[in-house]
Chain A
Amino acid sequence: MAEPSQPAPAEGAPAKASRRKVIAIGLAVLLILIGIAAAAIYYIGLGSTFGGTIKVGFTISETGTFNVEGTNSLYGIRTAAQWINSHGGIVVQGKTYNVSLDYYDDQSTSTNIPQLYSKIVQKDNATFLLAPYSSGLTTAAAPIADQLDRVMLSHGGAADTIWTSTTRRNLVEVLSPASGYLKGAVDWIKANHPTDKIAALYASDSFSTLAGTSAVSYAQSLGLNVVYDQSYPATATDLSTQLNAAKTAGADDLIGGGHFNDGLLIMNQLKTIWTPKFVSLLVAVTEPSFYTQLGATANNVTGPSQWQAAVGYSPTLAQSLSLDWFGPTPQEFTQLYGTVTSTPPSYHSAEAAGALFVLADAIHRANSLNTSAVRAALGGMHVMNFFGQFQVNSQGLQTAHSMVVVQWQAGNLKVTHPQAVAETPLQYPYTGA
Chain B
Amino acid sequence: MPDASAIVDQLVFGVVYGLLLGCVFALLAHGLNLIWGIAKVVNIAHGEFIMLGAYGAFFLNLSLGFNPLQSAAIDAVIGLAVGLAFYFGVLHRELRGKEAMTPRSEMVTLVATFGLSLLIANAAKIAWTGDLVGIPWSAGSVSLGSLRIPMGGVYVAILSVAIIFLTHVFFTRTHLGLAIRAYSQDIPAAQLQGINPTFVSAFGTSLGFAATMAGGAFLTVMFPTGINPYMGALYAPISYVIVVLGGPGKMWGSLVGGLTLGVILHVGQVFLDSSIAAAIAFLTLIPVLIFRPEGILR
Contacts and interface: CB of A to CB of B under 8 A. Distances in A.
Interface in A220-268: 231-233, 236-238, 240-242, 244-245, 247-250, 261-262, 264-265, 268
A192 B210 CA distance: 54
Nearest to A295: B136
A242 B224 contact: no
Interface stretch (B5-13, B36-44, B167-175, B281-289): B5-13
A430 to B, nearest CB: 16
B10 A272 contact: no
B178 to A, nearest CB: 39
Interface string A293-314: 1110000000000000000000
A65 interface: yes
Interface string A47-90: 00000000000000011110110000000000000000000000
Contacts of B226: 237, 261, 265
A107 B122 CA distance: 13
Given A244-B13, A294-B136, A237 B223 contact: yes
B123 to A, nearest CB: 15
B269 A293 contact: no
A308 to B, nearest CB: 25
Interface string B1-35: 01000100110011001000100000000000000
Contact of A241 (B13, B150, B223, B275): B13
B193 interface: no
Interface string B238-278: 00000000000000000000000000001001100111000
Contact of B274 (A236, A248, A273): A236
B188 interface: no
Contacts of B273: 231
B130 A67 contact: yes
B185 interface: no
Contacts of B234: 237
A402 interface: no
A70 B269 CA distance: 31
Contacts of A271: 138, 141, 150
Given A236-B274, A265-B224, A249 B6 contact: yes
B274 A242 contact: yes
A264 B146 contact: no
Contact of A248 (B2, B150, B224, B269): B2
Interface residues of A, number: 36
Given A237-B226, A293-B136, A274 B130 contact: no
B132 A65 contact: yes
Contacts of B208: none
- The listed residue with most A CB atoms (<10 A of its CB), out of B150, B222, B274, is B274
A238 B136 contact: no
A249 B223 contact: no
B136 A241 contact: no
Given A236-B274, A241-B14, A241-B269, A268 B134 contact: yes
Contacts of A63: 129-131
A108 interface: yes
B274 A241 contact: yes
Contacts of B223: 237-238, 265
B140 interface: yes
B152 interface: yes
A264 B148 contact: no
Contacts of A268: 134, 136, 138, 224-225
B274 A244 contact: no
Contact of B9 (A68, A236, A248, A265): A248
Given A241-B270, A249-B6, A265-B223, 5 more contacts: A64-B132, A67-B130, A264-B134, A268-B225, A272-B149
Instruction: Give the top 10 A-B pairs by smallest Cβ distance, nearest first.
Output: A272-B150, A268-B224, A237-B226, A272-B141, A241-B269, A63-B130, A237-B223, A248-B9, A67-B131, A248-B6
9 contacts: A232-B274, A242-B269, A244-B17, A248-B10, A249-B2, A261-B225, A264-B134, A265-B226, A272-B148
